[in-house]
């Protein structure tokens, strides 16, 4: 596909900066990456819907709560760890509450703050679901990669994630929206 011509920004009085189009090889890598991410997310989502009646994002929230001290996290911290908007988190927690897997508690030192708390029932659902989920992850990713490829994938994704989480004030990050 031929790169489209760029037009000057109206009123800027400056020549537009030329786009840095992807090379054919970069385009191949990008498309393979996007296809893999999309298919992996769908694969894991279907496995969790089938085995536990929940989407992948909900499972991730339960895992983060299970890993937290006393099974609880402030809602803002949980949104940050899950890399989702506060609105999406609030909706997800409402659904998890409806299932009896999570409850909200007011924060004693902050009238506006709330904790999401993993319930015993939520922990049990997680305990029952985890083996099938781990097997789905293992089959989809780790069984297909050599130990060196696994290490490279981890390093690459860590670099990408770090680059997408600026630390300056006013950064546009999901959990800040």
Which parts of the chain have pLDDT scores under 70? Answer: 1-13
pLDDT at 3: 56
pTM: 0.83
Give the β-pairing of 110-118 and 102-107: antiparallel
Contacts of 66 (CB under 8 A, 6+ apart): 118, 123, 126
What is the three-class DSSP state of 150? helix
| Angle of CA points 20, 24, 27, to nearest 5° | 75
Report pLDDT for 109: 84
* Cα separation, 55 vs 176, whole angstroms: 23
The pLDDT value given to residue 133: 97
Task: List the one residue out of 156, 154, 176, 157 whose CA is nearest residue 166.
Answer: 176
Predicted pLDDT at 175: 78
Count of CB atoms situated within 10 Å of the CB of 120: 10
């Amino acid at each position: 596909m031929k790169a489209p011509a760029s037009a000057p920004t109206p009123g800027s009085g400056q020549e537009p900066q030329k786009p840095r189009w992807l090379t054919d090889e970069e385009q191949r890598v990008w498309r393979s990456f996007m296809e893999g991410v999309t298919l992996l997310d769908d694969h894991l989502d279907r496995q969790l819907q089938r085995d536990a009646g929940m989407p992948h994002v909900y499972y991730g929230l339960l895992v983060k709560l299970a890993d937290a001290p006393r099974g609880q996290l402030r809602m803002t911290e949980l949104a940050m760890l899950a890399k989702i908007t506060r609105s999406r988190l609030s909706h997800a927690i409402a659904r998890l509450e409806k299932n009896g897997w999570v409850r909200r508690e007011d924060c004693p030192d902050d009238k506006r703050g709330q904790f999401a708390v993993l319930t015993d029932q939520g922990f049990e659902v997680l305990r029952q679901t985890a083996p099938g989920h781990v097997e789905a992850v293992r089959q989809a990713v780790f069984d297909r990669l050599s130990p060196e490829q696994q290490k490279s994938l981890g390093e690459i994704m860590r670099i990408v994630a770090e680059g997408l989480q600026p630390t300056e004030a006013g950064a546009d990050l999901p959990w800040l929206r």
